[in-house]
């Protein structure tokens, strides 16, 4: 069907720019520092290598040495589950992080990581005492007038929803990214994305 600039779609990893902006906002407000260690906000998670603790900056710059996704979601992803993250909540995210050691020295190698950005978003939410989705709405979406954007699951019943399709042109269901939402969970429109870019 014909789509226009008000069609809603999953923006995927563009969400990471919102999470990084939220980090910058919280730093500018004096609520935390780029050099704060992850363990300060998630005490059960001590991601370290060679005695160095992962910082919020390491997570934001993909230089924490963490894998792309938590090992626990690899099998569902390999088996092409229609929604591999849906049961992966914050408790499971923290548990996975406590079992994962960085693969390289901190700050040394950039390794694209949904896992790391999910941990960053979770830590920011804990630091603020708010839900990640609420922080994004209050501090970024509302002030910038991005009224058709939200951390949400795309509503397939919405006539404005733009369904995703696979390589064979078959429609695929939207994902519930659960605790991985800071790495890809925003639903938006082309009009809002233009405003975000400006």
Contact 174, 156 (CB under 8 A): yes
Using CA atoms, how far apart are residues 126 and 120, in angstroms rounded to an integer? Answer: 10
Residue whose C-alpha is closest to residue 69's, from 149, 175, 177: 177
Residues 6+ apart with CB under 8 A from 67: 100, 103, 111, 113, 115
DSSP 37: B
Using CA atoms, how far apart are residues 33 and 139, in angstroms rounded to an integer? Answer: 17
Residues 6+ apart with CB under 8 A from 87: 178
Contact 90, 60 (CB under 8 A): no
Residues annotated as part of the active site: 13, 112
Q: Which residue has the tokens 């919280």?
A: 26
């Amino acid at each position: 069907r014909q789509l226009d600039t008000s069609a809603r779609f999953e923006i995927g990893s563009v969400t990471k720019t919102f999470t990084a902006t939220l980090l910058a906002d919280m730093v500018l407000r004096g609520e935390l520092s780029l050099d704060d260690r992850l363990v300060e906000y998630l005490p059960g998670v001590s991601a370290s290598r060679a005695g160095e603790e992962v910082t919020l900056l390491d997570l934001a710059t993909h230089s924490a040495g963490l894998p792309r996704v938590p090992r626990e979601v690899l099998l569902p992803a390999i088996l092409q589950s229609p929604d591999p993250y849906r049961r992966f909540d914050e408790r499971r995210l923290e548990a996975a992080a406590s079992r994962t050691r960085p693969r390289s020295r901190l700050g040394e190698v950039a390794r694209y990581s949904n896992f790391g950005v999910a941990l960053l978003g979770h830590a920011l939410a804990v630091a603020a005492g708010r839900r990640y989705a609420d922080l994004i709405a209050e501090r970024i979406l509302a002030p910038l007038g991005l009224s058709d954007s939200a951390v949400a699951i795309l509503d397939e019943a919405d006539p404005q929803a733009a369904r995703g399709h696979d390589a064979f042109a078959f429609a695929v269901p939207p994902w519930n990214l659960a605790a991985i939402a800071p790495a890809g969970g925003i639903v938006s429109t082309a009009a809002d994305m233009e405003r975000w870019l400006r």
